Structure 1
Amino acid sequence: MRAVVQRVSGASVVVEGASPADGAETVGAITGEGLCVLVGVTHDDTPQKAAQLARKLWSLRILEDERSCSDTGAPLLVVSQFTLYGDARKGRRPTWNAAAPGPVAEPLVDEVVARLRELGAEVATGSFGARMKVSLTNEGPFTVLLEV
């Protein structure tokens, strides 16, 4: 599993409706200091790796004064991001061969969220497989790449 973790002072995810009449809906949002986490899943990932990622995110000391979400109760916004496994080393068009398909990836992203909540985290999410618009204010800026 791969995650891009950003320290934020707020973040939200908006999904456009199925028709123009439906408009846009905010499906997940956090306010104040927290983490915006983009999660990518590859073919050999497991529920154990999802649990490991959740523990790492919960205890990662990248908030103000080197504190973690577990220290402060800061919320997390977790968004599935298959493009984290895109490969653009050759040519001009990325390939997505390393990204796990939806039926494999969705339960593992859900597992990360469930494990974070078991640890006591407040977690907002995006909408798996939807075309999302993620807005955030990156504090610092502070961004880290995690792989488990």
Structure 2
Amino acid sequence: MKALIQRVRQARVEVAGEVVGAIDQGLLALIGVEQGDDPARADKLLHKLLNYRVFADDAGRMNRSLRDVGGGLLLVSQFTLVADTRGGLRPSFSSGASPAEGEALYDYLLGQARAQHAPVACGRFGADMQVFLQNDGPVTFLLEV
């Protein structure tokens, strides 16, 4: 599993003009599910999402986690994140999980996130989504488990 995380001041996801998920300060996490991913990997990814230190402490150093600051977590499924872009001029998605497997694992991750943290918001799996964010920093990291 992969997550492209962005520290945000605010973020929201719209589907057909309707806001389906929104947070204030926190992390926007674009989630990619690959073949072979399982709940254990989702658990490891969630641990990183909640505990990765990307927020400033009193000295201005990245030393606080999402849990430490009580920020929001916005999860958005994004299958293009698992694309193989090493060859040619067209991405290959052969390493991505099937839509059914991807949705099941994304739903698992979302359920676990909601059980362990608040607030948690999300996009809509498989939908044509518009993601709006105010990147804070900018601070962006690719997490892989």
Letter in 2 for 1:82: F
Aligned-partner Cα distance in 2 for 1:138–1:120: 21
Partner residue in 2 for 1:80: 77
Q: Which among 57, 66, 70 is matched to residue 67 of structure 2?
A: 70
Alpha-carbon contact 1:54-1:113 (below 8 Å) kept: no
Q: Residues 1-148 of structure 1 correspond to what in structure 2 (within 5 A)?
A: 1-16=1-16, 24-31=17-24, 33-65=25-57, 66-148=63-145
Bigger drift between 102-111 and 116-125 goes to 116-125
* TM-score, length basis structure 1: 0.91
Query: Which 4+ residue blocks in structure 1 deviate beyond 3 angstroms?
Result: none
**Could you say what the CA RMSD is over the residues aligned between the two structures, in angstroms?**
1.0
CA drift at 1:126: 0.3
Aligned-partner Cα distance in 2 for 1:52–1:78: 15
Bigger drift between 50-59 and 34-43 goes to 50-59
**1:30-88 CA distances to partner (integer Å, 9 max, x unpaired)?**
11x20000000001000111111111111111012221111121111000010011122
Aligned-partner Cα distance in 2 for 1:92–1:41: 22
Aligned-partner Cα distance in 1 for 2:71–2:54: 11
CA drift at 1:121: 2.8
CA drift at 1:120: 2.5
* TM-score, length basis structure 2: 0.92
Identity of aligned residues (%): 47
Give 5+ residue unaligned stretches, structure 2. Answer: 58-62
